[in-house]
């Protein structure tokens, strides 16, 4: 588990971009955090780094959007889904077999359907003095595939790592 601190939406996008070289086909990133925390901003930074030229927006009303890049990117937002049955309607198993990158906002509900390896990112409001734009990203590698990339994760994020994430 590591904590990184950003002070602007651009910085959150930069953190995401710094993680992009670590991505392998089929990786899943689960994003949680309050409304407006910066989940979509993170996906935008990741998409840009993957070479996606299309504008990434919130897929809240479409639930899922796909983009072409170094790896294909599937961006899901399951906020509006009430139960697992609806999630299964998203054809998650097919998406998982697509050798793409999958980013899932509000994805805790789908954890039972995920492979054992995924990167969990929880975004918290930063409570940093008076900086309204402060955020803390809690980045947790789950499963052996991501655990084995722990050192790379730390290196990629070193510029933003904080050992004092505050009272999250």
Nearer to Mg ion, 20 or 105 (CB): 105
User: Measured from the CB of residue 16, what is the shortest distance to ligand ATP in angstroms?
Assistant: 10
Q: Which does 81 bind (CB under 5 to 8 A by kind): ligand ATP, Mg ion, none?
A: none
Write out the two tokens for 59: 């897929």
Distance of CA 24 to the CA centre of its chain: 14
Nearer to Mg ion, 63 or 161 (CB): 63
Nearer to ligand ATP, 110 or 117 (CB): 110
Using alpha carbons, list the distances in angstroms from residue 165 to 37, 41, 93, 95, 151: 16, 20, 35, 34, 19
User: Measured from the CB of residue 135, what is the shortest distance to Mg ion in angstroms?
Assistant: 13
- Between strands 28-33 and 2-6, the pairing is unpaired
Torsion angle defined by CA atoms of residues 116, 111, 43 and 59, in that order, rounded to the nearest 10 degrees = 140
Among 58, 66, 145, 162, binds Mg ion (CB under 5 A): 58
What residues make contact with ligand ATP under the rule CB under 6 A? 6, 8-9, 11-12, 33, 35-41, 58, 105, 133, 135
């Amino acid at each position: 588990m590591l904590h990184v601190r950003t002070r602007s939406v651009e910085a959150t996008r930069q953190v995401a971009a710094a993680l992009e070289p670590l991505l392998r086909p089929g990786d899943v990133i689960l994003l949680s955090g309050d409304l407006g925390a910066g989940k979509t901003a993170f996906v935008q930074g990741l998409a840009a780094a993957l070479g996606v030229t299309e504008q990434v927006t919130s897929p809240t009303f479409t639930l899922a959007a796909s983009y072409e890049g170094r790896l294909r990117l599937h961006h899901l937002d399951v906020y509006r889904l009430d139960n697992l049955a609806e999630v299964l309607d998203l054809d998650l198993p097919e998406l998982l077999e697509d050798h793409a990158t999958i980013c899932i906002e509000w994805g805790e509900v789908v954890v039972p359907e995920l492979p054992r390896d995924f990167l969990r990112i929880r975004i918290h409001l930063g409570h940093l003095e008076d900086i309204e734009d402060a955020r803390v990203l809690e980045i947790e590698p789950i499963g052996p595939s991501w655990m084995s990339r722990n050192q790379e994760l730390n290196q990629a994020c070193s510029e933003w790592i904080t050992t004092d994430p505050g009272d999250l």
